[in-house]
Structure 1
Amino acid sequence: MTMDEIISFVGALDGVLTLRPAPGDGSPDISWGDTFFYYAPDGVVPTTTQPFATIVTKNYPGDEASRLDRPDTFRLNIAAGKAEFIRWTGHAPRERGATEADPGATDTLMAHPVYGTLGWLAVVNPGPGTEAAVRELLRAACHLARTRHERRAS
């Protein structure tokens, strides 16, 4: 899956706001080129919640294990919730799995190298091996974000 394919897929989900920071928009330089997905049916970036998925195109300080400095490399990060995290990794977010995947491996669904303990999953350069799972997990993450939004609104 390309970044554009992921952005199109997630952007088509109901209530999703896609944020793509760029020079001149007031966003921090480090975020330029990355993509953030929020559940925001009013079209306003929420100030009290994190995105439910992100695409990062570079290493961030303290998050270099995925080696995103390689050409044409990006990582999709998904907050799909504890149940999906356990389903796909075989262990709870705060437990160490029996085998840890190489954080730089491509087309491999794994615990996020930094935020895995919070239930985030990640895939570097999703491809044929992870495409179906990625689509399912993005739908689940959006649903969880919508549920949280509705709970806060009521």
Structure 2
Amino acid sequence: MTIDDIIDFVEGLDDVLTLRPVPGDGSPEISWGDTFFYYSPDGVVPTTTQPFATIVTKNYPGDEDSRLDRAGAFRVNIHAGKEAFLATLGRAPREPGPAHTDAGASDTVIAHPVYGSAAWLAIVNPGPRTGRLTRELLCTAHALARSRYERRADAVRRQN
């Protein structure tokens, strides 16, 4: 899968807002070249929630284990929730993973090197082994984001 394949797939889901920061748009320089996916029926960047998935193309401070400084390397990060995390990795998000996990291994689903305890999964350069699962996890993350959005909207309606 290429970055464009992933973007096209996610943008095919309902009510997705895609942010692709570039120089001059007011976004932090570290985010330039990366992609952030939000569930946003109104097309406005949510201020109270994180994206449900991201694509990063470089190492971030404190997050170098995936070795994204290699040519062509990128990582898909997916907030697929506790159930999908458990089903995919066979353990709960806060349980320690195997000591031998290589966060930079391509085409392998791992707990996110920084946000794994919050039920984020990660795949460096998804390929033949993980392509189908990557799409399934993205759909799960999108559905969870939609559900969170609807719960918040219902709470606001009940307050008014």
Aligned-partner Cα distance in 1 for 2:59–2:118: 19
TM-score (structure 1 length as normaliser): 0.98
Aligned-partner Cα distance in 1 for 2:108–2:100: 11
Other-structure match for 1:60: 60
Match for 1:150: what amino acid? E
Q: How does 1:1-154 map to 2 (within 5 A)?
A: 1-98=1-98, 100-154=100-154
Task: List structure 1 segments (4+ residues) > 6 angstroms apart after TM superposition.
Answer: none
RMSD of Structure 2 on Structure 1 (CA): 0.8
SS at match of 1:77: strand
Match for 1:125: what amino acid? N
SS at match of 2:18: strand
Aligned-partner Cα distance in 2 for 1:112–1:53: 12
Q: Number of residues paired by the alignment?
A: 154
Unmatched runs of 5 consecutive residues or more in structure 1: none
Q: CA deviation at 1:130?
A: 0.2
TM-score (structure 2 length as normaliser): 0.95
Q: CA deviation at 1:15?
A: 0.7
Q: CA deviation at 1:127?
A: 0.3
Aligned-partner Cα distance in 1 for 2:100–2:84: 17
Aligned-partner Cα distance in 1 for 2:3–2:101: 22
Unmatched runs of 5 consecutive residues or more in structure 2: 155-160
Aligned-partner Cα distance in 1 for 2:97–2:65: 17
- Assess, with a 3 A threshold, how the Cα gap between structure 1 residues 152 and 100 changes in structure 2: closer, same or farther: farther
Q: CA deviation at 1:98?
A: 4.0
Q: CA deviation at 1:97?
A: 2.4
Aligned-partner Cα distance in 2 for 1:98–1:64: 18
Aligned-partner Cα distance in 2 for 1:38–1:122: 17
